[in-house]
Amino acid sequence: MERSFKAEVDQLRLAEGQTFTGEGILAVTKALLQSGVAYVGGYQGAPVSHLMDVLADAHEVLDELGVHFEAAGNEAGAAAMLGASINYPLRGAVTWKSVVGTNVASDALSNLASVGVTGGALIIIGEDYGEGASIIQERSHSFAMKSQMWLLDPRPNLPSIVNMVGKGFELSEASNTPVMLELRIRACHVHGSFVCRDNLKPKFSKLNRIAKPIFDVERIPMPPSNYAQEKHKVEVRMPAALKFIREQKLNEFFTGELHDIGIILQGGLYNTLIRALQQFGLADAFGASKIPLYVLNVTYPLLPDEVAHFCSGKRAVLVVEEGQPAHLEEAINSILRRADINDPHVIGKDILPLAGEYTGEVVLGGVGRFLQLMLPDGVDQAGVAQVLDGITQAKQRAAELLGERVPLRPPGFCIGCPERPVFSALKLVDKEVGGIHISSDIGCHTFSTLPPFNLGNTVLGFGLSLAASSGVSASMGQRVVTVMGDGGFWHNGLSSGVTNAIFRNDDRVLIIMENGYTSATGTQNIPSTPGLTAQQGVSISIEGTLRGMGVKWLERVDNYAVGNVAEVLRRAMTTPETGLKVIIADGECMLERQRRLRPVNAARLADGGRVVRTRFGVDEDVCTGDRSCIRLSGCPSLTLKDNPDPLRTEPVTTVNNGCVGCGLCGEVAQAAALCPSFYRTEVIQNPGWTDRFMQGLRQWTIGRLSGDGRGQA
């Protein structure tokens, strides 16, 4: 795993009255234990990976409480775990990155929502939307609506979030319905503190097992129960939920002196809104606002009476709702119309953007326009204009002084990443054959679609790349190539892609990136992770699986041997062999590798053992600066520096100190016959006597014969 969570695990033991300090998502983890959760599952993905990572390290704490934790095979598997709460009073929580995880999970979620739950079922949604998001931009809100699960969107401070975890279980049980708790990226990673309660042992668990299973045909989503379930959902469970939300005051009202206007907002946007109000002088540092606020910590379902109460008597109400479609704004309009409250203008996505993250700037602009439009008494309009213009002017001034936009810096493959050389080879072969259709997947390897590789024609979902190439394969002039990570292989690729491709004897090429972990989410273990302990699981070989399934053409390549990878690719593209051709690109995630090797080498070095330190370099007087090497590799440590030769004006390519010695640059220079500039250096630390003897001999020879006087090698 990417990092150790020992300190965080210790915080999971905190008792009543003690203060937890740390990340939002870890606060949720502690809150789960305080709520008497019996089981926790999920599938890793930013921004909720840490919830799972810390539990994976917390065996002892979990064992003491009897809590079962499981990293599921995918989000569907995680969601299906909640089936435990259908018949039994077991509180359970699952987590994943949304909206993608919710997509995968939705089959199980629909069934779960339809039949309902006995024990509280909480789904922690890491809403990966806006800045830094790495997935399609959709909101999870729609899933809550279509399955009628309740959606919590608490104010993004640790006490509110933790409180909402507890209330979420209660709400779930009070209404027999699964509840979603939505946390945006920054709320997951916000650092704050809250006062703890003791952890609660679940009533039934590993420590106190259920004696007798419960059978109830009404809990089976099949005729005739399914019709009754739907009616039950809207006629019984929904009203029960509304009652709980109203009585427990889960939504919050904040009064303000400008009572003829108001703002309705998602709880998660509260802090951003307060900052905007502060900038206009309408709120103080502690959030006391001059404009009345109605903060929706529950964004689905809405309480019609609360909405009506807040809006009546107001000239205008601003709805601050992130994402589209504008479910809240539409619902509020509908509630007011039904209640025959027609005075307030409901303003929302007509002045705020329809799509995209509601950043500080967006909310500031929206509130500013609202104030300029409604002209409330007691608001300094000149001041509002000054704040808005100030930002515009600052941007204009910067644009004038800086000219062109500064270069973008999208994320890319790490230094030494074993996936990069595969794409170097793929780029070479792609050029030779005049273009290959490449079906890409989700994972670190999706970076291949960015410069300098620009490889990968479609991405359809995690583990779906092989399935996504089957339709196009029939109509392409060349064999299509599919790239899939080992994470995607186990998540979905094996069942929906590989199995069917073998079954149909499809003539396609599949490259599996076997780096050993789900690296993009923080190098969590997968079934094929090498060297698993018994506690971590039983290792399954991808190659063995594929051979067992009947794949005949299978080659394993060492990723860093670019020329060889290219050669195997050419063979796969041209072999007369029909059926699925699989190339397993074998290279352990470099981050993990370095993490493993660094302490080993440091220890050996300290013991006086012989350790060779390797790095690569570019001869500055041989490089002529055409950058072919960079375009074929894109390694971050392959960069530019001013030309030390005063007669040359262009920078030279150079390898900086970040180099981990993977050798890709040298391989590429050879495989593509680029130039003779690349070299590898090996420094022998703690040399033995043979090393020293040979060194002396070599130095003597080289010193005599080198081009420009006595030297030392």
Task: Report the residue from 140, 199, 279, 515 that binds other proteins according to the rule CB under 8 A.
Answer: 279
Build a one-symbol-per-residue string for 23-52: x at contacts with other proteins by CB under 8 A, - elsewhere.
Answer: -----------------------xx-----
Task: Report the residue from 40, 58, 187, 572 that binds other proteins according to the rule CB under 8 A.
Answer: 187
The residue with tokens 């599938």 is 43
Q: How far is the CB of 128 from other proteins (least distance, A)?
A: 8
The reply on whether position 594 binds other proteins by CB under 8 A is no
The reply on whether position 405 binds other proteins by CB under 8 A is yes
Interface stretch with other proteins, choices 80-88, 265-273, 321-329, 340-348 (CB under 8 A)? 265-273
**Which parts of 576-677 are beta strand (E)?**
581-586, 611-618, 638-641, 652-655
Task: Report the residue from 287, 353, 527, 579 that binds other proteins according to the rule CB under 8 A.
Answer: 287
Return left, alpha or beta for 605; rule: phi > 0 is left, psi -120 to 50 is alpha, else beta: alpha
Distance CA 632, CA 668 (A): 7
Q: Of 171, 157, 415, 379, nearest to 286 (Cα)? A: 157
Judged by CB, which is closer to other proteins: 23, or 173? 23
The reply on whether position 608 binds other proteins by CB under 8 A is no
The CA distances from residue 540 to 27, 57, 427, 489, in Å, are: 34, 22, 31, 12
The reply on whether position 710 binds other proteins by CB under 8 A is yes
Judged by CB, which is closer to other proteins: 192, or 383? 192
Tell me the β-bridge partners of 182: 125
Please tell me whether the peptide bond between 646 and the residue prior to it is cis, using omega within 30 degrees of 0.
no
3-class state of residue 381 by DSSP? helix
Which helix (H) or strand (E) element contains residue 183?
strand 179-184
The reply on whether position 7 binds other proteins by CB under 8 A is no
Judged by CB, which is closer to other proteins: 294, or 413? 413
Q: How far is the CB of 200 from other proteins (least distance, A)?
A: 26
Site for other proteins in 413-452 (CB under 8 A): 413-415, 444, 450-452
CB 94 within 8 A of CB 132: no
The reply on whether position 382 binds other proteins by CB under 8 A is no
The reply on whether position 627 binds other proteins by CB under 8 A is yes
Residue 96, amino acid: W
Burial of 280 (C-beta count, 10 Å sphere; 0-12/13-18/19+): buried
The residue with tokens 């199980």 is 108
Q: How far is the CB of 258 from other proteins (least distance, A)?
A: 18
Give the CA radius of gyration of the chain. Answer: 30
Site for other proteins in 563-582 (CB under 8 A): 563
The reply on whether position 156 binds other proteins by CB under 8 A is yes
Q: How far is the CB of 519 from other proteins (least distance, A)?
A: 6
Judged by CB, which is closer to other proteins: 66, or 130? 130
3-class state of residue 622 by DSSP? coil
What is the biggest distance separating any 2 CA atoms in the chain, rounded to whole angstroms? 100
Site for other proteins in 640-669 (CB under 8 A): 640, 642, 644, 646-651, 657, 666-667, 669
- Which residues have CB under 8 Å from 144's CB, separation 6+? 150, 151, 180, 299, 300
Interface stretch with other proteins, choices 209-217, 256-264, 270-278, 310-318 (CB under 8 A)? 270-278
The reply on whether position 296 binds other proteins by CB under 8 A is no
Q: How far is the CB of 686 from other proteins (least distance, A)?
A: 8
| Terminal Cα-to-Cα distance of the chain (whole angstroms) | 40
List alpha helices for 176-237, DSSP H: 185-188, 225-232
The reply on whether position 192 binds other proteins by CB under 8 A is yes
Interface stretch with other proteins, choices 54-62, 197-205, 358-366, 492-500 (CB under 8 A)? 358-366
Distance CA 195, CA 262 (A): 32
The reply on whether position 286 binds other proteins by CB under 8 A is yes
The reply on whether position 628 binds other proteins by CB under 8 A is yes
The reply on whether position 189 binds other proteins by CB under 8 A is yes
Q: How far is the CB of 263 from other proteins (least distance, A)?
A: 14
Task: Report the residue from 138, 170, 260, 619 that binds other proteins according to the rule CB under 8 A.
Answer: 619
The reply on whether position 613 binds other proteins by CB under 8 A is yes
Interface stretch with other proteins, choices 83-91, 208-216, 548-556, 677-685 (CB under 8 A)? 677-685
Site for other proteins in 448-487 (CB under 8 A): 450-452, 454
Tell me the β-bridge partners of 557: 585
Burial of 409 (C-beta count, 10 Å sphere; 0-12/13-18/19+): exposed
Residue 551, amino acid: V
Q: Of 77, 94, 90, 87, nearest to 181 (Cα)? A: 94
The reply on whether position 547 binds other proteins by CB under 8 A is no
Task: Report the residue from 441, 634, 660, 662 that binds other proteins according to the rule CB under 8 A.
Answer: 634
Build a one-symbol-per-residue string for 104-143: x at contacts with other proteins by CB under 8 A, - elsewhere.
Answer: ------------------------x--xxxx---------
Q: How far is the CB of 240 from other proteins (least distance, A)?
A: 33
- Residue 565 token pair: 């990878």
The reply on whether position 231 binds other proteins by CB under 8 A is no
- Residue 438 token pair: 């490449």
Distance CA 220, CA 208 (A): 26
The reply on whether position 670 binds other proteins by CB under 8 A is yes
Beta-strand pair 438-440/293-296:
unpaired
Size of the site for other proteins (CB under 8 A): 135
CB 28 within 8 A of CB 183: yes
